[in-house]
C-alpha cells in the first residue's frame, strides 16, 4: 500500500503540490491505483474500496468553475484521495481549484517539471513508479524479516539492538527516528510535554494497549517490544505524517524484536537449565544424592526416581554435534532421564537412566540405538547401582564407551560379565573391599564420600578429567587421591597400587566408606583364582593374545606404564613402543594410553589372572605383608 509521500518524495521527482496557498498537504493519503478522468472529471470505472490518484487531462481545464465542487464531491465518492492536474504548456485550470479540493479533503498535485506531457504519459510514469516503490517496500519488509530470522538463530541476545539500529537507519531516510525505551527510563524527551503522547506511552508500557499512533508535531508511533510487564516501548517519531508503509515497517520490526527477545529468553532459560543439570550430575558424582534430588525438583518429574540407576556416556563425532545429541537423547528417553553435557569432555553427553526405564540391557540398547544410527556417535552404558555410586558408574560407562567405538552398532552395555568386579565372588569381594577400606572409616568417621568419589574418577580417568567433571581444583583432586589411597596403605604413584585401590573403592555391594564385613576376608590372590575372573581375563585379552603382544604389555606394566623405561627394557625406540601400545589399545578396544588408568588396569588384572604377571606385583592391604614381593 502506497501513500502520497511515495509519489512526492521519490527519486523520480514526478509530482509536487499545486502552488496555491489553500492547497491541502496530506502525505499520508493512501494511493492504491492511478486513473484518468474524462473532461468532466468523471471516472469511467469505479473500484469501491480502492483509493485512487486521479489524473485530470488537459482538456479538463475547460470545466465550468461552478461545477468544480460537485465534481470534487463525486470524485471523493468514487474513492479518489488526490488529484494530479495535467498542467501542460499553455493549459490553465480555473483559479481557486485547490480551495474546493481542500474542502473535500483532496490534495492537488501537478507535474514537478512543466512540459507537454499528456495525462496518459503522466499516468504511465506514475504506474511505473508505483510498481517500483511497491517492490522496494516488499524488499524492505522482506529484508527486515530475513535479518530477524538470521539474528534469532545466530545472535538472539543482540537481535533487538541490531533490529532497532536497522529500523532507525531506514527511518532516517524519511527524516524519522526510532529507539527502544526500557520501562525503567523516563518517557523520551520527544513526547515530554505532550499529555496525549505521554498517556499513550504509559498505556503501552503498562500493557493496556499494544500500540499507539499520536498525530501532531512530531507524529509518534509507539509499539511494545518486550514480553513482560512493564513493557519496553519502541518509540518512533517523524516530522511528517506516517505513511502506511512506514507504520507497517515499524510495527513489523517491533514484532520481530518482541519475538527475538522471546527466543533469547528461551535460550537463556535453556542455558540455565543445562547448567543446573551439570550441577546435579556433579552432586551425584560426589555422592550427594539428597542435594541433587532437591536441585532436580524444578526439572521434569521422574528423572531421579527410585534408588538405583545406570549411567550412559554418549560420545559425539564432533563437539559441535553435542547440542543436537542432547536433544536427541531427551527424545529417546522420553524426558525420563537426566541428560547433561559432560563438563570434562566436550564431545560427551552424560545420561542418568533411572532403573525403572533401564531394567534390562535389551531395553537400554533399544532406547539408545537411535543416538548412534548414522551419527558417528558411540554409547557406553554402565551396570545398575545406587545413585550414590554414580562416580563408579561413570568409570564403568567410560570403559564400555571405549569398547563401543569398535562395536558394530557402537553401543556397549556393561553387564556383570564385562567387568572384573562383576565376575568376582560378590560376598568375598565385598568382605575384602570393606577390609581394605576400613582405615578410611577410622580416619574419616563422617565418610568423606566426596574424597572417595573424586579418587575413583581420578584413578580411572586422570586428575584433569576428574577435576573438570567434579568442579574441583586439580590440586584438590590430587590431594584427595593421595589422602584416600594413602589411608589404605597404598602408594598413589604406582599403577599397581592404584589398580588395587580402584577395585576396593568400586565394590558395588558396600557403601563408599563402610564397616568391615563379618564375612571372613580372603586374600586378593584367592579372589582372583576363581573361574569367573579367569574367563573374564581370557575375554579381555582374546583380541590380541600373541606372545609378543603379551610380553610388551607385561613389560610395560612391570615398569609402571612408563614408555621410556619400557623401551629401554625391550631394546626399542620410545616412539616404537608408543605406536605398538596404541595399536594394541585399538585391537583390545581399551583406552590404554588415555589419561587415567581404566583400560590399563583391566589389562593389568587380566595379565595377573592369566599368570603373565606375578600376582606378587599387586599389594594386598589385607595380607600380613601387604607390600608386593
pLDDT tier for residue 498 given thresholds of 50, 70 and 90: very high
Q: In what order do the strands lie in the sheet with 108-111?
A: 15-17, 108-111, 80-85, 52-56, 33-36
Torsion angles phi and psi, residue 94, rounded to 5: -55, 145
φ/ψ region of 333 (left if φ > 0, alpha if ψ in -120 to 50, else beta) reads: alpha
DSSP 455-491: HHHHHHH-HHHHHHHHT--HHHHHHHHHHHHHHTT--
Domain 2-131 class in CATH: alpha beta
Nearest to 421 by CA among 554, 527, 287, 557: 527
* 155-263 and 301-411 in the same fold: no
Nearest to 450 by CA among 391, 384, 386, 498: 391
pLDDT at 512: 42
Task: Give residue-wise pLDDT tens across range 612-625.
Answer: 999 989 999 988 66
Output the CA angle 223-227-228, nearest 5 degrees. Answer: 110
Report CA 583 to chain centroid distance, whole Å: 38
pLDDT at 426: 84
**238: enclosing H helix or E strand:** strand 233-238
Report for 20-29, 188-197, 346-355: range of highest mean pLDDT: 346-355
Decide if pLDDT at 514 tops 60: no
The domain 155-263 is placed in CATH, from the list 1.10.3720.10, 3.30.450.30, 3.40.710.10, 3.40.50.300, at 3.30.450.30
Report CA 399 to chain centroid distance, whole Å: 29
Cell of 241: 505524517
pLDDT, average across residues 381-397: 87
Whether the full predicted model's pTM is greater than 0.85, yes or no, is: no
Decide if pLDDT at 255 tops 90: yes
The domain 301-411 is placed in CATH, from the list 1.10.357.10, 3.40.50.720, 3.30.70.100, 3.40.50.510, at 3.30.70.100
Domain 529-617 class in CATH: mainly alpha
Decide if pLDDT at 515 tops 50: no
pLDDT at 257: 92
Decide if pLDDT at 199 tops 90: yes
Percent of the chain residues topping a pLDDT of 90: 44
pLDDT, average across residues 124-147: 90
Task: Give residue-wise pLDDT tens across range 67-102.
Answer: 999 999 999 988 999 999 997 777 888 888 899 899
**500: enclosing H helix or E strand:** helix 495-505
Domain boundaries, the chain: 2-131, 155-263, 301-411, 529-617
Nearest to 237 by CA among 219, 211, 213: 219
pLDDT, average across residues 293-318: 88
Higher pLDDT, 45 or 259: 259
The pLDDT mean for the chain works out to 87
pLDDT tier for residue 370 given thresholds of 50, 70 and 90: very high
Amino acid at each position: 500500500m502506497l501513500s502520497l509521500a511515495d509519489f512526492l518524495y521519490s527519486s523520480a521527482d514526478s509530482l509536487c503540490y499545486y502552488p496555491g496557498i489553500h492547497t491541502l498537504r496530506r502525505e499520508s493519503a493512501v494511493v492504491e491505483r492511478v486513473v484518468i478522468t474524462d473532461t468532466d472529471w468523471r471516472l469511467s470505472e469505479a473500484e469501491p474500496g480502492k483509493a485512487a490518484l486521479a489524473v485530470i487531462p488537459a482538456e479538463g481545464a475547460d470545466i465550468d468553475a461552478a461545477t468544480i465542487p460537485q465534481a470534487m464531491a463525486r470524485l471523493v465518492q468514487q474513492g479518489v484521495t488526490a488529484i494530479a492536474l495535467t498542467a501542460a504548456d499553455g493549459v490553465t485550470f480555473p483559479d481557486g481549484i485547490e480551495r474546493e479540493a481542500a474542502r473535500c479533503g483532496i490534495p492537488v498535485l501537478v507535474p514537478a517539471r512543466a512540459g507537454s506531457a499528456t495525462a496518459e504519459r503522466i499516468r504511465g510514469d506514475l504506474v511505473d513508479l508505483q510498481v517500483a516503490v511497491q517492490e522496494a517496500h516488499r524488499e524492505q519488509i522482506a529484508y527486515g524479516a530475513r535479518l530477524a530470522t538470521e539474528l534469532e538463530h545466530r545472535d538472539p541476545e543482540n537481535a533487538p539492538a541490531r533490529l532497532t539500529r536497522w529500523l532507525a537507519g531506514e527511518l532516517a531516510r524519511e527524516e524519522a527516528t526510532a529507539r527502544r525505551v526500557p520501562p525503567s527510563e523516563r518517557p523520551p524527551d520527544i513526547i515530554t510535554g505532550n499529555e496525549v503522547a505521554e498517556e499513550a506511552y504509559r498505556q503501552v508500557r503498562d500493557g493496556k494497549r499494544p500500540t499507539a499512533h499520536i498525530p501532531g508535531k512530531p507524529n509518534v508511533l509507539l509499539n511494545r517490544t518486550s514480553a513482560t510487564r512493564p513493557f519496553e516501548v519502541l518509540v518512533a517519531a517523524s516530522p511528517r505524517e506516517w505513511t502506511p508503509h512506514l507504520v507497517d515497517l515499524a510495527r513489523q520490526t517491533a514484532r520481530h524484536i518482541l519475538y527475538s527477545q522471546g527466543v533469547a529468553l528461551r535460550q537463556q532459560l535453556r542455558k540455565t537449565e543445562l547448567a543446573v543439570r551439570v550441577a546435579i550430575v556433579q552432586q551425584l558424582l560426589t555422592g550427594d544424592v539428597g542435594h541433587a534430588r532437591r536441585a532436580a525438583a524444578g526439572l521434569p518429574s521422574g528423572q531421579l526416581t527410585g534408588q538405583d540407576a545406570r549411567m550412559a556416556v554418549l560420545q559425539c563425532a564432533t563437539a559441535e554435534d553435542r547440542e543436537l545429541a542432547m536433544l536427541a537423547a531427551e527424545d529417546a528417553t522420553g524426558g525420563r532421564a537426566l541428560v547433561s553435557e559432560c563438563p570434562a569432555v566436550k564431545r560427551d553427553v552424560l545420561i542418568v537412566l533411572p532403573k525403572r526405564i533401564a531394567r534390562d540391557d535389551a531395553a537400554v540398547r533399544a532406547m539408545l540405538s537411535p543416538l548412534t544410527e548414522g551419527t558417528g556417535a558411540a554409547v557406553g552404558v554402565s551396570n545398575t547401582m545406587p545413585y550414590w555410586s554414580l562416580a563408579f558408574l561413570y568409570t564403568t560407562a567410560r570403559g564400555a564407551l571405549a569398547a563401543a567405538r569398535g562395536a558394530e552398532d557402537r553401543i556397549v552395555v556393561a553387564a556383570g560379565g564385562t567387568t572384573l568386579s562383576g565376575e568376582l565372588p560378590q560376598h568375598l569381594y565385598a568382605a575384602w573391599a570393606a577390609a581394605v577400606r576400613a582405615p578410611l572409616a577410622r580416619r574419616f568417621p563422617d565418610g568423606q564420600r566426596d574424597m572417595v568419589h573424586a579418587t575413583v574418577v581420578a584413578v580411572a580417568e586422570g586428575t584433569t578429567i576428574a577435576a573438570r567433571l567434579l568442579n574441583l581444583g586439580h590440586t584438590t583432586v590430587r590431594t584427595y587421591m593421595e589422602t584416600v589411597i594413602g589411608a589404605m596403605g597404598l602408594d598413589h604413584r604406582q599403577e599397581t597400587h592404584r589398580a588395587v585401590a580402584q577395585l576396593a573403592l568400586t565394590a558395588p555391594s558396600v557403601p563408599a566408606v563402610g564397616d568391615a564385613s563379618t564375612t571372613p576376608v580372603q586374600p586378593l590372590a584367592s579372589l582372583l583364582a576363581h573361574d569367573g575372573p579367569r574367563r573374564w581375563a581370557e575375554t579381555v585379552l582374546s583380541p590380541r593374545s600373541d606372545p609378543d603382544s603379551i610380553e610388551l604389555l607385561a613389560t610395560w606394566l612391570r615398569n609402571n606404564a612408563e614408555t621410556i623405561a619400557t623401551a629401554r627394557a625391550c631394546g626399542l625406540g620410545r616412539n616404537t613402543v608408543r605406536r605398538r601400545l596404541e595399536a594394541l589399545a585399538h585391537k583390545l578396544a581399551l583406552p590404554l594410553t588415555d589419561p587415567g588408568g581404566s583400560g590399563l588396569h583391566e589389562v593389568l588384572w587380566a595379565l595377573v589372572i592369566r599368570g603373565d604377571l606375578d600376582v606378587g606385583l599387586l599389594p594386598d592391604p589385607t595380607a600380613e605383608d601387604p607390600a608386593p614381593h
